[in-house]
Structures are given as C-alpha cells and as structure tokens.
Chains A and B, each alone.
Chain A
C-alpha cells in the first residue's frame, strides 16, 4: 500500500517550478482518494512564505524546510547527505523529483545511496493496491516502457517529465511548516568553484508550454528573428534542429532531439525542419504539433496535427500577425 509520498520541490526565482506544481497537484488529488500522505520538501538559502503558500495551494500542507547558506549553489553531495537522513526519519514509499537538471543529477545518486529502484523521466504514474506502475517513453518516443513494482513497504524513486501529469483543481491546505536543522556537512569532495549564469533573455525550452523551433530552412542566424517574433507573441520559447545548431545559428542548449533536449510542450511549431527520426525523438510527445514546410513529402508533416505546405518566410510573419489579432481580441 502506498502510505507516504515525498515530493522534492524546486523553486526558481521564488516561484515553484511548473513540474513541481504538477507533481503536487497530482499526488494531492490521489492522496484523498487512496488515503496516503503527501509531504513536500524544499531546500534553499532563503526560502519565503510565498513559496510555502504556493505549495499548500495544491492541497499539500506538510512542508519540510531545510535552509542553509550553503544551498546558494547546487551541490549534490551536500543534498544527498541531508536527504538520506530525512528519508530514514520519514520513511516514504515514493520520492518524486522533477526531471530537471537537479532531479536528473540527484535522483540516481540517492537511489543508489538507498539501494532502491528508480524510474527516470516518467510521464504517467498509476497506484494500485499494493503496487505502483510507471510509464515512460523510450527509444526517443518510438516505444513506451511500463514498469510495475510491488511496494511491500519498500521505497522507490522517480523523476517526472514536465507537462505530463494531469493537473487538478485541489482544495488548498493550510501550510504546516517544519524546519529541519540537519547538520550540513562541510568536508565535501565536490566543490562548485563558479556559477556562470546564462543570459536570462532566452527562455528555456525545458518546461515551456509552447515552443517555436527552426531548422536548416531558416538559412541563417539572422532569420531566426522571425521565429523570435512569433515566440514573443505566444509567450513561447525558441528551439532548433541539430542542423541549425551545427551551423552555429543557435546554441546547443536549445537543440531538440536525440542528442539535444526532450520536450513535451502543449504546442510545438516546427519551421523549416524536415522531421528526421532523431529530431522527432525529442518532440514527438508534444500535445499538438504544427509544421511549416515547403516540401509536401517532408516527414514532419506525417506527425503534425496541422501542417502548412508553403514558404516559412511568407507564412510565419503572417501567422504572428494572426496570433496577435487573436491575443488582442
């Protein structure tokens, strides 16, 4: 039986990460139905009440807080030690992380430190009487893996892909905060020397709800401006194919595909991208795909929900105009 879920919550600029909202909302919904307890864990160097209120608004009132000046920089070694202690004390059956840069790094280390199974980048979680089932896309979305594990009072870890767990209307809970005073170790073998912030100007594609992506069809870096215009109108992030990244038009951090990022936005607009299998691997789980391509035989049009066969240089600016008219009206 599932009795106790621990969600490791991440914040960004004082707000909850979107995938964390999704995990909280989902678990909170099922906790009432199935009678298990959900606890959120937050850590940081200066956490605020606003964040705790946000967590509680999804129906999760039990909030564990660890604050330490050392958390100003992410250090996995520091966190593993603290998490291990907390887990021994709270005995969860399931620990959830967002499949974020932090979750991807931390969860496998923690899983091995606790000698338990872990499932990466899951898109679906199902609770049964005495077992738990995870669904995760593999082979770049060409197949789905289903993992079922008997709980037997054991613990299991998972990282959750953003934009996949359904969000519910939860009844807000009253935040009940417990500050933990675990000793933070200081003889670390992993030292963060420097953190170089990337320019905040570019919106990250990881959790974006809408992504406008460009490929070789854009012809040069300057032409990406027309995609930026469309993206700004839609509040979207800009992505790119490998051809565009290899040509130096966009940075590798926005490459979508097998050797780039895997994204699951609500809307993915592919402009001048042929839809090679390695590109599809990174975006085939998008809820809605729009492709703009002048070649009627381009493979991207086979997976698109809506495809426009035509010249992107004509169509994209007009699309921006049409969307502007909608958002205004």
Chain B
C-alpha cells in the first residue's frame, strides 16, 4: 500500500492573531500540524502496520514547515514532500498537489487527509483533489477498513452514519473520533531526523480573489450577575433576556 497524507501546517490554537495592513502576521507564530491531519497520519500508519507499504506526507507551504512535519515522520511516516508556496487559495493548493502527486507518486493507493483545517476553515482541498485526480472521495470519515482493493468507510451524514464503499485509488478525508494519534517516542524522534523532507518547486497559477482580513466586531462588555442568591440571579437573567428581546 502506498498511502499519501495531505498535511497542513497551522497556527497553534493558542496563537493570538496579529493583523498588519489587513494581512495576518506570521511573525513569531508557533506552528502545529492541523489536528485533523494528525488523525489522517495516524490512520495511514495503522494501514501500513496492517498491510505494509509506505506513507508519504504532502504539504503545500513554507520551507520551514519541515520542522513541523518531522512530528509526522516521528509518528511513523516514511518521508515528506513540501511544495514550497505561499498560496492560500484552496483551488490553487489543490492544483499544486495534483501536479506534484501526478509527477512523483502517481501509483498511490490511497490519499488520506483531515476533512477541514482549523485555520482557514475551507474544507475544500480533498474534494477538489478527487476531481482533479478523477478518483472517488469519501468525506468526514470516522472509520476505515481496507481489504484488498475495497475501502469500506463509515462517515458522518446528516443525522446519520453512512457506510460507503469505494475502490482504490481513492481519497478519504477523516473526522475526529477515527483514532487517537500516537505520541512519538524519543527513539522515533531521533529516527525521524534521518528521514527525507523533499522540497518541490512548482509554479502556482494566479487566482483573482482579493482577500483581506479584519477582526470581528467587538461585543459590548457583558454583565456579570452575582449568583450567591440563585433564585434572584435566575430572575434577573430572565428579565434581562426579556428586556433585550432575546426571549
């Protein structure tokens, strides 16, 4: 099995956003692997442990992302490819990934990814890539089972769980709940140092979207109600909600 995993580097969830001229500053930011992509890496390694083969990480981003991707290598991935680019647009990112995969790993069996990225909340790349590579795609998956050519997935539908079957090659985008990502041991981390992170250079097409960033509107400061007399507090709250027409 050759499993590719799409991995995005995101700001650590605790990072405070700083804007400079309506652009999000990347100065002194601490990065992590998008938590949903971590589930995808874990699942890929589990598949490798069961069926053999290799796991290759693919990321579009900064050259320095290699440090972040080392976590994935320490978890058990075999190598990583970074397509060096500062593009953010999902359509462009998908095009870059499709080009790189076609060039370097077009005999893959599976592509795994997180279904959404916690930074830009776009949730587009896996779906788009499936169209570009013309392979089936199962989204928001909470369980994967590979037997021979057949991939059986359990996914979150609208108020239901769906069991979906596709054949390899396919793309699977995973949801939280599918597994618990392992913590690399010291030995794994040392081994990861010797694994390859390759830099790929590709030219990105230009998109025509004008993007700017702002802060959300500041809300008025809230009112704190003393709860030492619970009966009174409950009454005050209900009155306030009536006054402000929320009820």
Binding site for B on A (CB under 8 A): 12, 73-74, 76-77, 100-102, 104-105, 107-109, 111-113, 115-118, 120-121, 136-150, 189-198, 200, 204, 252-253, 258-260, 262, 266-267, 277-278, 281, 284-285, 287-290, 292, 294, 296, 301-311, 314-315, 318-319, 321-323, 326
Contact = CB atoms under 8 A, between A and B. Distances in A.
Nearest to B129: A112
B215 A266 contact: no
Contacts of B238: 319, 322-323, 326
B188 interface: no
Which of B36, B163, B244 has the most A CB atoms < 10 Å from its CB? B163
A191 B164 CA distance: 6
Contacts of B158: 12, 74, 100-102
Contact of B13 (A105, A111, A204, A277): A277
A118 B125 CA distance: 11
13 contacts: A104-B139, A108-B127, A111-B91, A112-B130, A145-B212, A193-B152, A195-B160, A253-B156, A277-B13, A306-B223, A306-B237, A308-B233, A315-B234
Contacts, number: 241
A194 B128 CA distance: 25
Which of A109, A149, A196 has the most B CB atoms < 10 Å from its CB? A109
Interface stretch (B47-55, B77-85, B113-121): B113-121
Instruction: Say what secondary structure dominates the interface of chain B.
Output: mixed
Contacts of B222: 289, 301-307
Interface string B33-70: 00110000000000000000000000000000000000
A190 B157 CA distance: 15
Interface of B: 11, 13-14, 16-17, 19, 24, 35-36, 89-91, 94, 118-132, 135-140, 152, 156-167, 176-177, 207-216, 219-220, 222-228, 230-231, 233-235, 237-238, 240-242, 244, 246-247
Nearest to A109: B127
B157 A101 contact: yes
Contacts of B129: 112
